[in-house]
Structure 1
């Protein structure tokens, strides 16, 4: 269901890229920038699905710190430097900032999927049974 919602959000953002900004302003420069970055924002939604699901799985398996560290490394260690370089050094501007966010989402989603896929669920089940929940 989560991935379906992500595809719907991406489709909406891509389809509405020329109309979305008009809800808020008539400024041609802002409308142009909004139309340019909406498809990238839509792609960020695709990365958000496995990232959020992976964080939930890690939280549910008593490893929230691992999920937080993956997010921290992805967004501040990868996404922020890419956004700064693309947005300001390469002078791509707003699109460069959004591409940095997209890079962070992609890295975070990939790492989350790898970590969850490599989880030994038998060990997790044993840990769960050994925990005193009351």
Structure 2
């Protein structure tokens, strides 16, 4: 969890940045700039996710020594790092896509996607993998990964179907309605 929390700071920052950028571009009436920023951040997110995932694979046999000197703990962490390295890629994309959806002013849809992905898919899958298939901690993480993948795919579908011109008009209307007395 400490490793994931540390690594999650990268996509968290990217998600906040793209949320601000998309909302500013849409509010300024520049839908093409918002679309371009979305494409750039997706490539950047994928690149950082793959880079960090590869780094995690390179240090997977050593990382456990940061937490314990016991071989059993070090070997368990090495096995988990393989799963975490894949999880990081999806988590990066999911975090950035959440930022895009927030920047478009679709927080309610984003919240529904989060709740459904984790409560309808992630948690049941985690319980199934961990306790039915007896995978323990790895099963719990596999289930959460299933939730992240579902969330990422739903947010990707929303982003790909976004009509940027329409979103810019809606942003303009929101700005105008909030400035009226």
TM-score normalised according to structure 1 size:
0.92
Shift of 1:76: 2.0
Q: Partners in 1 of 2:112 and 2:82 — Cα distance?
A: 28
One of 61, 70, 82 as aligned partner of 1:27: 70
CA–CA distance in structure 2, aligned partners of residues 36 and 52 of structure 1: 24
CA RMSD after TM alignment: 1.3
Q: Which of these residues, 53, 56, 61, is aligned with residue 10 of structure 1?
A: 53
Of the two structures, which has the highest relative contact order with CA contacts closer than 8 Å and spacing of 6 or more?
A: 2
**TM-score normalized by the length of structure 2:** 0.70
- Between the aligned partners of 2:108 and 2:131, the Cα distance in structure 1 is 32
| 1:65 correspondence with 2:112 | no
Q: How many residues align?
A: 134
Aligned to 2:118: 75
Confirm or deny: 8 A CA contact 1:13 1:42 kept in the other structure: yes
Distance (Å, rounded) in 1 between the aligned partners of 2:57 and 2:146: 18
Alignment partner for residue 119 of structure 1, among 157, 162, 166? 162
8 Å Cα contact 1:33/1:94 also seen in 2:
no
In the alignment, the residues of structure 2 paired with residue 20 and residue 68 of structure 1 have an alpha-carbon distance, to the nearest angstrom, of 34
Could you tell me which of 89, 93, 98 is aligned with 1:46?
89
Q: Which runs of 5+ in 1 are unaligned?
A: none
1:17-37 Cα shifts (integer Å, max 9, x gaps): 110011110122211211111
Question: Separation in 1 of the partners of 2:170 and 2:124?
Answer: 38
CA offsets per residue over residues 41-61 of structure 1, 9 Å max, x none?
111111112211111111111
1:116 Cα deviation after fit: 0.8
Q: Which has the higher helix share?
A: 2
In structure 2, what is the Cα distance between the partners aligned to 1:12 and 1:101? 22
